[in-house]
A = this chain, B = another copy of it.
Amino acid sequence: MRAGFIGLGAMGRPMAANLAQAGRLEAVWNRTRARAEAFAAATGVGVATDPGELARRCDALLLCVSADADVLGVVDEAIPHLRPGTLVIDLSTVRPDTARVCDERVRAAGGAFLDAPVSGGVEGARGATLSMMLGGEARDVARARPLLEVLAARIVHLGPAGCGQAAKAVNQAMAAGINQAVSEALAFARALGLPGERVIEAVGGGAAGNWFLTHRGPTMLAGRFDPGFRVALHHKDLEICRDLAAGLGAHLPLVEMTLVHYRRLIDAGAGDLDISALFRHKQALFRG
C-alpha cells in the first residue's frame, strides 16, 4: 500500500516521518510548499503538486490538518483523482459531522473513508505511541491497520464514520478537565512552598496520577510553555464538545470553564502557547 500524507504540522510531520522510515510513504503535500520540500529532502520521499496528484500516486491518503474547512477542501480536491478503493484516513480533530460528510463523498467516488483522530501529544507522534480513535467500516479498519500500526500503539474502532471524532471530543473534554486539575493542584503546591518535582513524583505514582502531570507538570512549574498542544487548537476542539453537548440538550461545566480561561489566554496573546499555560491563570488565584 503506497501512502500519501497531507499536513506536516506539529503532529503530522513526525507521523509522516514514521511512515517514511517504515518505507511506506510515497509522497507528501503541504499547503506551505517549503515545508513539504524540507521534509522530502530529509526523508527522500516525493512532493506532490496538489492533493489530486497525490491521490493519483497513492492508494492510501492520510490527512492531518487543523480545521474542518481544511479537511473538506483537501478531500474535495482529492476526490476526482481517487483510485477505486483508495483509503482516505483523516487524522485531524474535527466535528463528527465533517467526518460523515467526507465519508459520503469519498464513498460516492469509489473510495473508503476512516476518521482516525489521535491522542498522545507530540511525544506520542514521534515515538509512535499514539492512541487512535477510529470511525468507519470494520473491513476498512482491517485494510488500514498495517499502516496505522506504524503510527499508533493503540488502535480502537468505535463505530461507523464520525465515531472516531465523537470519541476524540470525549478525549478533549477529559483533557480540559485534567489540565484544570493539574494546573490548579500544582499552583496550590507552589503556594504551599512544596518542592515541585517531588510533588509530581509522589502524586504521579498514586490515584491522581495522569499523563499530563508527568509530561507537562515539570515544564509547567518551570514556566516553560512551548507547544506541545496549542491553547487555540484545544479551544477550537472544546467548541466542538460544546456544540455536541448542546445538540444533546446539555452543557459540560468543565468544558465551559476551560473555554473561558483559554479565551482569556488567547486575548492576552498566549494562544500559541502549550495548554499547560493555564497554570498562569491558576497562579493568579494565589495573588489575591
Contacts and interface: CB of A to CB of B under 8 A. Distances in A.
Nearest to A163: B194
Nearest to A179: B181
Given A124-B207, A250-B285, A170 B156 contact: no
Contacts of A159: 194-195
A205 B198 CA distance: 25
Interface centre among A163, A202, A245, A254 (most CB of B within 10 A): A202
Contacts of A248: 191-192, 286
A56 B178 CA distance: 47
A41 interface: no
Number of this chain's copies in the complex: 2
Contacts of A128: none
Contacts of A163: 194
* A121, A157, A158, A241, most chain B CB atoms within 10 A: A158
A54 B130 CA distance: 52
Contacts of A182: 174, 177
Nearest to A177: B181
A173 B188 contact: yes
A210 to B, nearest CB: 3
A132 to B, nearest CB: 8
Given A248-B191, A285-B250, A157 B207 contact: no
The SS class assigned to the A binding surface is helix
Contacts of A180: 177, 180-181, 253-254
Contacts of A202: 119, 131-133, 154, 156, 158, 167, 171
Given A119-B203, A198-B156, A213 B174 contact: yes
A209 interface: yes
24 contacts: A120-B207, A130-B206, A131-B202, A131-B205, A156-B198, A156-B201, A156-B202, A167-B189, A167-B194, A170-B186, A170-B199, A171-B185, A171-B203, A174-B185, A174-B213, A178-B208, A181-B181, A184-B255, A188-B244, A188-B245, A191-B245, A208-B210, A210-B210, A210-B212
Given A119-B206, A173-B185, A174-B208, 8 more contacts: A169-B188, A170-B194, A177-B185, A178-B210, A208-B210, A250-B286, A250-B288, A253-B257
Interface of A: 118-121, 124, 130-133, 153-154, 156-159, 163, 166-167, 169-178, 180-182, 184-186, 188-189, 191-192, 194-195, 198-199, 201-213, 215, 229, 241, 244-245, 248-255, 257, 285-286, 288
